[in-house]
Amino acid sequence: MNNIDNDSIISKTNIIDVNTDTFMTDVIEASKEKPIIVDFWAPWCEPCKQLTPLLENAVKDQREKLILAKIDIDQNQDIAAQLRIQSIPTVYTFFEGKVADGFQGVKTNSEILEFVKNSANLSGPGEEVEALLSSSQKKIEERNWIEASDIAQKILQIDPENQIGFGTLIRSMIGLNKFNEVKEIIEALAVEIKNSKPVLDALSSLDASEKAFKATENIQVLQENLKKDPENLDYLLDMATALFGNNEIEASFDMLLKSIKIDREWKDQAARKQLLELFKSAGFEAEETINARRKLATLLFS
């Protein structure tokens, strides 16, 4: 009956009461599925009366990711003794059957929110977010920027601090040439997210992509110039940049490869350096990048 009652409670809330009889099931075993924050308290403990409501408020929005279990140590002295609880309030996070984090005493609301966030993150993004992340990666590879942006926004609705979600959103907005919007997003991001690898990787293509987009204004002029002087390396470099901004990726890479074939050392290997920058912008997993890298290797080592 206890298990049925607990399942019913969890379906409505992720806050449960645990005792000696249910500790192994509801904390140790359950923590193999998701983190369990355990609040050790007692009715006479005044600091507990301050802490517990803050904990309950902090976990209510993490229903899918963790559970808060409350243990009255007066009624469950064996558990307190086994875990060497010497003062209360004491809070432990159990994950994968053992203590992963914890603290003693009263904390500020911001400290509690941070503790709960860190505990929730122990189990990773969750199946729904993982599926969305996988889908967004495919859309990035296809350069389907609109759908990639939509998926990234869904990820961030579920997990507002998901670093890969922000990286995908930024990458897709760069692909849509929304450079000013990207800069506004970056300004608003927390430092931890702004400096995360997914976001930094996405931003690494910003300058080159913005430059390429602006270069599209000169495509017609460059075409005329190249008709007159088809091996002019300045024209070839500028045209390659403009073609990339016009989403003609393969043609852009071929033009830079042509430049390298004419004179690989020109302007301190400017064509090769530009090609590598555009590889980064297009994505190293893109088919055009893979093909062009193969051709570049043949050129450099022939």
Both tokens assigned to 33: 């599925």
Q: Which among 45, 67, 164, 170 is annotated as catalytic?
A: 45
Instruction: Reply yes or no on whether 45 is catalytic.
Output: yes
Total Cβ atoms within 10 A of residue 168:
28
Q: N- to C-terminal Cα distance for the chain? A: 76
Rounded CA-CA distance 264/119 in Å is: 53
Please name the residues in contact with 193: beta carbons below 8 A apart, sequence gap of 6 or more: 161, 163, 166, 199
Q: Which among 48, 69, 88, 282 is annotated as catalytic?
A: 48
Rounded CA-CA distance 93/65 in Å is: 13
Torsions phi, psi for 71 (to 5 deg):
-125, 120
* DSSP tag of 121: G
Instruction: Reply yes or no on whether 48 is catalytic.
Output: yes
Say which residue the tokens 């989403």 belong to.
Answer: 247
On whether the CB atoms of residues 280 and 204 are closer than 8 A, the answer is: yes
On whether the CB atoms of residues 154 and 132 are closer than 8 A, the answer is: yes
For residue 216, which of 264, 251, 191, 169 has the smallest C-alpha distance? 251
Active site residues: 45, 48
